[in-house]
Structures are given as C-alpha cells and as structure tokens.
Structure 1
Amino acid sequence: MIRPLRWDPCIAHSGAEVDSFIADYFATADRKVLLIAGAGFDPRSTAVAERLSAAGAPVRAILFQESRPKPAQGLIERAKANAGALTSAMVDHVLIPIEIFGSDGAVVGGRNVVGLLGRQTFDGISDVIVDTSALSVGTSFPIIRYLVERIESGKGPPNLHLFVAHDPTLDAAIQSVPSDAPGYVHGFKGGSTLDGSATAAKLWLPQLAAGRRGALGRLHDFVGPHDTCPILPFPASDPRLGDRLAEEFLIELESGWAVDTRNIVYADEEDPLDLYRTILRLDDLRKPVFREVGGSLLVLSPLGSKVMALGALMAALERDLPVAYLESISYDLDKSVPSTSATPNLIHIWLEGEVYPQPRPALHSEGTAVL
C-alpha cells in the first residue's frame, strides 16, 4: 500500500527565492527566531546568519563548534574567523564546543549536542532555524530529530526550518579522514537492531562521493546488505559528475557490491525532495514484495552533498530508517579555497509548522526517540 507522504507537498525554496523568503518572513515583528548553526571552518558557515542579520530579524543563536583530535592549524584559523563573523552578526548568542569523540574514541557528538539542546529553553520562540552548512551529519541529524520530536509531542517550537548552503565544488574540496568505527547516527538506528528485522531483506542506499571509497567500503562491511542501490547525482551542476563517480567506484559496483546497473538511483543534486520521494517510493515498492519472507529494511548512508543528505534525513525521519555513518576524525581543505563562499546557493526546507494543514501523515517510529 502506498502511504501518504508527510512532506508532499513541502514548502521549499532555493537560490534567490531563499533571500526573498528570509527578507520577507523573518523581518516581521512577531517572529522570534532561534538559529542553530555550526561555527566551523566551512566557508559557508556565515551565509545564513548574515542574511538573517541583514533582514533585521530578532535572533538568538546557538553556535556549535565541532571539536576533533589534532585539527590542522589552517582550519583552526578559518574556524576562528567564521566564529568572529557569526558572533558579530548574532549579538545574542552562545558559542558551545562539542566533542565529537570521547576519550575512548567512541563517537559521542550526536548524544552530546542533544543533551545540550535539552537544557535550552524554547519559550517565546516562534521559529527555529537549523543551518546544516557547517554541521556534520553526525551532529545535524540528531539536532533535527530532537526538534521534530519536540514538535510532535506538542512542546514546540511552532516552526522548524532547515537551511543549507549548496556548493558541490566545495563539498569535493573538503577532504575527510574517516574513523575506523562505523555505526549508526545517534537516534537513527531505526529497525536495524530489532529482533524482527534480523531476517529482513536489507537494502543499502549509499550516497557516492569523491574520495570516499574507503569509508563506503567499511560501511558496506558494517551494514552487510543483501542488495545495494548506490545514489548518484543527476541532474547535477557538473553534468559529468555522475560518470566520474561511477568510474571511481567501478570495482565496488562491478564486484565488491555486485550492483546491477538498473539498481543505480539518480537524484537531483539541488533538490532534497527528489531523493526523499525516491527513497520512500523504494520503501513502498519493497514492503509487499518481502512481507512474507522477513520484511524489508532500507539503510541509508549520506556522504558528500549536504543537500542530498537532507533528502535522506527526511526519509529517515518519516519511516524511521537507520542511517549508517562513518564519522570523520579530521578534515583537510586546500589553502587556495576562499575563506568565505561568495555566492552560495541556499536551500530552504520548511520542515514543520503553521504552514501545513492538520492533521499530517504521521511519522513511523520504532521507539528510537532522542528526547
């Protein structure tokens, strides 16, 4: 049975539409805004905050600084400059360091950030904005799930917005060093650990990204899927990107993962809703096929493009799908990359709020709440 989608239709904007939306919506006197963003080295860190400041919106900001072992000095300097720009734009702010790894090497960033949010007050806040531009998947996904579950339980805030500054060239330029411990993002184990899923036909949906062969290889071994449907960006700003990724992962596609070319998933690089709908369509198609033989389980691994990661996030939230991820120990960014992104392509998703009629299609949770 095809289930109604929670975010279809969905209020979304991109490019110049985002600038207009920020200027019109957040400048009104009745909006009291909480911005949650990353104060990191990413050149896109300040794009959303600066536009909110220019609109004259009354904003309180929670700025998270992700801390990893032995960061490069150049990245520290970039992060300090971005933090300075953010705190200048957001006068009412708090700057909070987040340890991504524990003393034993375990990934604790998602749990830490949710714990800190749980001690924050949302009284009087009309809109919460999560800017994922400078936040990792391991941090941003738990933040967003926490907020969605607050709203579902009637605790507010009334409106939840997601923003990301899209720059595929920059995504490719940021080189990450993955850890050796794949796992599930905090709050996103889905049905993967339930006894009823032990015999389920497991389909892995990894988002292919340049330079991530090693990380995706470890994730494949961790997930142990029965089938794999890699996700390639198409259409994309670079028409040849999908071909280059297929060439880079040729060994995995042909032998390591034994992927039938008909099982490759194509998703619009600049539209998170395209991947969201595709994932849920696959879920709907597989459910009746495998119902009598243990069921079906989709496992997501969003690496690379932050925009496509939002599409995976929305699907994971709606169907409580597990998200297998390999956290980065460190990053590297060439010195030639500008310290700020001059013309980022902003994407906005109005995830929850007064704009949607009630009641809405329910989220399908397996009891993995992060509240």
Structure 2
Amino acid sequence: MAEFAQDYFAADKRKILLIAGAGFDPRSTLVAQCLVDSGTALDAVLIKEIRPKPRQNLSELAEGNKSDLEDLLQNSEVIEIEIFGTDNAVVGGRNAVKALHKLNYDDFTDVVVDISALSIGTSFPAIRYLTERIDAGLKPGNLHVFVTHNPSLDNSITHIPSDAPGYIHGFRGGTSLDSSSKAAKLWLPQLVAGRRPALNVLHSYVEPHDTCPIVPFPAANPRQVDILADEYIVELESAWSVDTRNLVYADESNPLDLYRTILNLHELRQRVFQDIGGSLMVLSPLGSKIMAIGALLAAMERNLPVAYLEAIGYDMVIGPIQANAEQKLVHLWLEGDAYPQPRPKLKSNGSANK
C-alpha cells in the first residue's frame, strides 16, 4: 500500500480529497497517515457521526482521533452527520449525501473514501453518490475505497441496535416496484458474532422466502464458521429454516470473493425464476467491512436492496491481542483512469445498468 501511494498518489499531477470517519475506531488514522507519508497533495473531509447518548469512553476516543487527524491533515474540515432524526428515523445516509453534494471537487484528481471508521449506513450512500457523479461525467475523475482490516478489533466492537430496520439510503433496489411483489425473495445476511437480535429483527422486516447466510471462510480464525453455526443454531434450524447446503462461504480478507459469489447467485436465480414472478435478492452486511465492500459492489452493479439495522450506539473492549493485531490495508480503485474510457456500462439481465 505504501509503495502504491508513493507511486500513484504522490505524482505531481495528483491532488487528493480524503473522506474519512473521525470516530472512536483505533483504525481512524491509518489510511490518512499512509497518504501523508507518501507526500501527496492532500485535503480532507472528516465525517463525525452523531448518535444519541454515546458512551463516555468512546466519545473521548473519538475526540482524540479527531484531534490526531486534524494535526496530521493540514487542510481538513470536520462535518457532523446526525444519524437519527428527531423522530428517531435513520437519516445518516441522506445527510451524508447532502454534505458531499455541497463540496467542490473541481480541484481534485482523486477522491479516497476510507470506510475504516464509517458505518455502513453512511459509507454505502457516500460511495454510491460519488460513483454516480463520475458516471455522469463530473469530477472527481478517480474514486478509491480503503479499509483497514483487523478481524480481532471488529470482534471487540459491540453494536447497540436501534429499533428501526430499513433499507439503506439509495439501496432500495426493486423493493418498491409492483413487479417485485410476487418475486421469490432471497435474504443474504452476513452472520456476525453477537448480532443475533439485529439479524432476527431484519429477518422479520425482510420476510424472505429463503435465507442463505454468509459466513467467513477462509477466515483469520479457522473455526469461525463453527463458532457462528453454534451461536445461530436456533435460527439456522428453525427460525430461518436454513439448509446447511445453502451457507454462502466468502473469503474474509477479499471483498471480490463475496462480490463474485453474489453475482453468480443472482444470475442463476434470474434464469430459474424469470417465468414465475422473478427473483429478488436482499443483502444485509452487518460485520466485516471487507465483506461489506463485496456486498456494496454487487448491490451497485445489480441494483440490489440492502436491508440494515443502524446502530444507536457502540461499546468496545480492547485487549492486548486486539490492539496489537496486524492491520491490513485494502484498496479498491472503483472508477477512473484504471478502466477504459469511456467505461462501458455493466450488463445485468440483458440491459445496461450500473
């Protein structure tokens, strides 16, 4: 990653806009530090997600990370994003898009979105908005997504779920179309330790005909699938009625693995159900950001709905193993100079869709 940053981002013609989270996550500063070390011309927009009554220890960590980022990034602006409205409705994604729409991108060759310390409900709409700008021929010319991967740290963060399940802003897919009312609905939830209540709420919300849970394999913990199967045994055997042959295995450290798996499953179901009402696949990425990126790419390419239960708060306990675990920087170049220009539209079901 450091080598790529020096070769590409630090080139004389490059000017970078970094969009990153200024949150409690210890990974908040790693991508910014890498870009600064490369010597690139860099401005930054730091998104501070505002939730009601945050834990005091996490507020202090977030404030410390924000100060560190402001010291590191000489040209930075902090934008506060309210995640919940006054009526407790989830508005974070919509607010993030509004804030990004107000920015001036004319001076930048590249935008880097670091989702390491951003929630999925904020990062998904932000990335989709920037992708659609480029599709429309507007600046920025290049869009990059970064995430710092640390499964041990992910497992140490507890999500406190709200009671407002819904579809992420910009990711309703075909759920509102009359043509989807008779479609065979398949739900692909990402199984995550400690998230049973949230996933059961989402199951009731989505009301799928079938469920294919996504589990990490290969994973940092070779026994992670067994651990998850044991935790979710009631859901798998009775509440969701999952055939063990319908588990979806995806590489925990490679977002493209899950992306390709979802696309293959989507194409297969479209052929099978096209004459009997069609197929509707609903994604629910609740865990690893790496696997969430894979779900994001598939959702944008095939216009799939993403059902999500936003966290009303978090808790975190970091032990020495989590704090000292190896951090892996993952980079995806989503749009721009790396692709043929003009970039051909991706095809889905015989029609040109993005």
* TM-score strictly above 0.5: yes
Residue of 217, 229, 240 corresponding to 2:212: 229
TM-score w.r.t. the length of structure 2 is 0.96
CA displacement at 1:289 relative to structure 2: 0.6
Corresponding residue of 1:128:
111
Q: Deviations over 1:117-154 (max 9, x none)?
A: 11111002110000000000000000000000001111
**What SS does the corresponding residue of 2:274 show, helix, strand or coil?**
helix
**What SS does the corresponding residue of 2:329 show, helix, strand or coil?**
strand
Contact 1:62 1:96 survives alignment (8 Å): yes
Equivalent residue letter for 2:156: A
Equivalent residue letter for 1:307: I
Residue of 29, 33, 53 corresponding to 2:36: 53
* Larger displacement relative to structure 2 (332-341 or 108-117): 332-341
After superposition, the Cα gap between the structure-2 partners of 1:192 and 1:178, relative to the gap in structure 1 and judged at 3 Å, is: same
Corresponding residue of 1:9:
none
Count of matched residue positions in the alignment of Structure 1 and Structure 2: 351
CA displacement at 1:242 relative to structure 2: 1.1
Corresponding residue of 2:203:
220
After superposition, the Cα gap between the structure-2 partners of 1:43 and 1:357, relative to the gap in structure 1 and judged at 3 Å, is: same
Equivalent residue letter for 2:344: R
Q: Deviations over 1:67-98 (max 9, x none)?
A: 10101110011001110111111110100111
Corresponding residue of 2:345:
361
Cα RMSD after superposing both structures = 1.8
Q: Measure the CA separation in 2 of the matches of 1:118 and 1:213.
A: 36
Corresponding residue of 2:51:
68
Corresponding residue of 1:308:
291
Q: Deviations over 1:266-289 (max 9, x none)?
A: 000000000000000000000011
Q: Measure the CA separation in 2 of the matches of 1:142 and 1:61.
A: 18
Contact 2:202 2:309 survives alignment (8 Å): yes
**What SS does the corresponding residue of 1:332 show, helix, strand or coil?**
strand
Q: Measure the CA separation in 1 of the matches of 2:289 and 2:109.
A: 26
Residue of 97, 104, 124 corresponding to 1:114: 97
**What SS does the corresponding residue of 2:292 show, helix, strand or coil?**
helix
In structure 2, stretches of 5+ residues that fail to align are none
Contact 2:187 2:282 survives alignment (8 Å): yes
Residues 75-86 of structure 1 aligned to structure 2 (within 5 Å): 75-86=58-69
CA displacement at 1:298 relative to structure 2: 0.6
Q: Measure the CA separation in 1 of the matches of 2:304 and 2:317.
A: 35
Corresponding residue of 2:9:
26
Q: Measure the CA separation in 2 of the matches of 1:292 and 1:342.
A: 50
Q: Measure the CA separation in 1 of the matches of 2:233 and 2:258.
A: 22
TM-score w.r.t. the length of structure 1 is 0.92
Contact 1:43 1:338 survives alignment (8 Å): no
* Larger displacement relative to structure 2 (198-207 or 84-93): 84-93
Q: Measure the CA separation in 1 of the matches of 2:73 and 2:325.
A: 20
Residues 1-371 of structure 1 aligned to structure 2 (within 5 Å): 18-334=1-317, 336=319, 343-358=326-341, 359-362=343-346
Contact 2:263 2:298 survives alignment (8 Å): yes
Corresponding residue of 1:8:
none
Q: Measure the CA separation in 2 of the matches of 1:334 and 1:235.
A: 25
After superposition, the Cα gap between the structure-2 partners of 1:126 and 1:363, relative to the gap in structure 1 and judged at 3 Å, is: farther
Contact 1:189 1:321 survives alignment (8 Å): yes
Q: Deviations over 1:30-87 (max 9, x none)?
A: 1110000000000000000011111111111000000101011100110011101111
Q: Measure the CA separation in 2 of the matches of 1:232 and 1:165.
A: 20
Equivalent residue letter for 1:62: V
Q: Measure the CA separation in 2 of the matches of 1:69 and 1:338.
A: 30
Q: Measure the CA separation in 2 of the matches of 1:322 and 1:341.
A: 36
In structure 1, stretches of 5+ residues that fail to align are 1-17
Identity %: 59
